[in-house]
Structure 1
Amino acid sequence: MAIEATDLVTTVLLAGGLMGMLGQGLRSAIGLKKLKDSTGDNGSLFSASFSASRFYTSLFIGFLAGALTAFFMSEPTMKLTLSKEVLIGLMAAGYAGTDTLEGLANKFIPGSAQAR
């Protein structure tokens, strides 16, 4: 399906953002599983280590990474074909792009680095 310029914000950026958020959500699920395994059965250690604000921020960054990727992938006529491969690519952009954007924030914004 081709998307016209009038649909750019509502379709291309939203679809890219949601797929990016999904990719980051998968990445976060893996991280949460590793955190749970490292704290063992002690739920209090897990809850002390888990930061909901960091989790939601990372999902938002995944949304941004996916939306930016969708924007840059669209043709000069602002059309983007949302095939299965493109959607998986947008998920991958959210998965990998979050590390890139967090790294840039840590480098250029003083005090943005958080203990992991």
Structure 2
Amino acid sequence: MEVAMQDNNLLDNEEELDDFDDEGTFITLIDDDGKETSFEVLDYFNFNGKDYAVVLPYEETEEEVVIFEVKHNDNDENSDEYVPLENEDTMFAVFEEFKKRNADNFNFED
């Protein structure tokens, strides 16, 4: 998936991770078939040497997050690839890190 930015209050791919503003940040991802899906970015962080985005599908009724590994495109710094995690161990570890980082921001169910 590629990322397409929508407004000026969105995640800027050129920003350092430390500069990420987590209030009202949205991205639109375009899949291989050209279908656009919008997400609210809940967190964006580096974990074990890789960048991850924890997002919530916009306009979905379920509150289930999606975790993407963010792969930076060396040829186009404004076009990152968001790859869904398939390895359950990695997904669990990244989600646990997300929970630690956001314990004060969200109520997590056990």
TM-score range, shorter chain: under 0.3
Higher helix share: 1
Higher strand share: 2
Whichever of the two has the greater Rg, that structure is: 1
- Structure with greater contact order relative to length (CA < 8 Å, sep ≥ 6): 1
What TM-score comes out, normalization by structure 2 length? 0.28
